[in-house]
Amino acid sequence: MLRIQRSEENTNVVLTLSGRINAEHLTELQSLIDAESGVPLVLDVTEVNLVDREAVKFLAGCEADGITLRNCHGYIGEWILTEKQRRTSGRM
């Protein structure tokens, strides 16, 4: 289950995510991100305890699009970095 809480910090919109992020949650999360277009966005993943590969690809794409990822657990951050390296090397 994924829980999403919206807040504002100065000029940023912060979406605090908690729980598990699976492929099934990505459409909803993308809709929330799209609704905030034009505003600096932060995804705070402090309370995320499990992700699947599709979620990691999604988060890597968010970061590539200029969205700040905050408080990534070590293994999530490493997995995102690996995914970015795959993208740039052309491997899937």
pLDDT confidence bin for 92, thresholds 50/70/90: low
Q: Mean of the pLDDT values across residues 69-78?
A: 90
Model pTM score: 0.89
Q: Which domains does the chain have, with CATH numbers?
A: 2-89 (3.30.750.24)
Distance (Å, whole) CA 12 – CA 83: 26
Q: Mean of the pLDDT values across residues 58-71?
A: 94
Token representation of residue 83: 């995914």
Confidence (pLDDT) at 26: 97
pLDDT digits (tens, 9 = 90+) for 12-55: 999 999 999 999 999 999 999 999 989 999 999 999 999 999 99
